[in-house]
Structure 1
Amino acid sequence: MTHSDPRVATLIGLYEALAPATLDELAARYARTCRFKDPFNEVEGRAAVRRIFAHMFETVKAPRFVVTSVIAEGDQCFLGWDFHAGDFVIRGASHLRFDDAGLVADHRDYWDAAEELYEKLPVLGALMRLLKRRLKAT
């Protein structure tokens, strides 16, 4: 996927081609004092963001992102994405805010850990599905 905003287009290209060898290039697109938050992490600083992506490559089989949608205006954008990891896919979105230098100052990932991850685990998944059925409005 491409976009007319060069900041957004560059990030999409980096996310979709992400590999251990490109982590420094991705980290360079983040502000030194950036903030990053997802369902498992909340960190500050470019080096910490790089560590999160490096950890992903250490712990997940064949991870890759496919950006499926983009909404961008001014200094912010939302990226819809599919995260492929081995035999499962997590669907989520990232809200990014750019600083005056065009670097990512804030990165917030939104995805449902219960539905996208926990429900796929054998024992925990059965419990999550049971809870979901009980809490579902009919």
Structure 2
Amino acid sequence: MKDLDKLKYWYENLSPESLEQIDTFYTEQSFFKDPFNEFYSRDKIKGIFKDMFNKLESPSFVFIDLIDSNEASFITWDFKFLVKGKEFVIHGSTHLKWESGRIYYHRDYWDVGEEVLLKIPFLRRLYGSFRKKLAH
């Protein structure tokens, strides 16, 4: 049986050490998709988190809302981190599907334009002019 409280605690306290507990939460061939990645592999999910800890300062997740049914969960979250001492926050959501108490489907939804591109000065201008052309 899935345990959302344990999953929430694990994510909100994720560290390079606690990452070793990923087997508790994900099946071996878990599907993962976000704006940059798509694959079937718990080891690759673990690799994304390892990379996150290597590249970012103080990364952390905060769960905001959680909607749950028997076979699926939907979570809204904030991902906070520092780059050269400056804080960034990405607002997003995740759709999870469960099998025998573990996640076999993990799909992240977040807006790369708003959450990343608009925070980089040169790209903000470029992306902003592109958005204006598309707006009604």
**TM-score, structure 1 normalization:** 0.90
How many pairs are equivalent?
Answer: 132
- Find the aligned partners of 1:93 and 1:119 in 2 and give their Cα distance: 19
Determine if the alignment matches structure 1 residue 92 to structure 2 residue 92: yes
Partner in structure 1 of residue 12 of structure 2: 16
> Within 5 Å, which residues of 2 pair with 1:42-121?
42-86=38-82, 87-99=87-99, 101-121=100-120
CA contact (8 A) 2:93 2:110 kept: yes
**Identity within the alignment, %:** 36
Q: After TM superposition, give the deviation of residue 28 of structure 1 in Å.
A: 3.0
- Find the aligned partners of 1:57 and 1:43 in 2 and give their Cα distance: 20
* Residue identity in the other structure for 1:68: I
CA contact (8 A) 2:92 2:108 kept: yes
- CA RMSD for the aligned pairs? 1.3
* Residue identity in the other structure for 1:52: I
* Residue identity in the other structure for 2:133: R
CA contact (8 A) 1:11 1:29 kept: yes
User: Could you list the per-position Cα deviations for residues 98-131 of structure 1 after superposition, in whole angstroms to 9, with x for gaps in the alignment?
Assistant: 01x2110000000001110011112112111121
Determine if the alignment matches structure 1 residue 35 to structure 2 residue 52: no
Q: After TM superposition, give the deviation of residue 6 of structure 1 in Å.
A: 5.2
- Find the aligned partners of 2:22 and 2:10 in 1 and give their Cα distance: 6
Partner in structure 1 of residue 128 of structure 2: 129
**TM-score, structure 2 normalization:** 0.91
* Residue identity in the other structure for 1:80: T
Secondary structure of the residue aligned to 2:133 is helix
Structure ranking higher in strand proportion: 2
In structure 1, the gaps of 5 or more residues are none
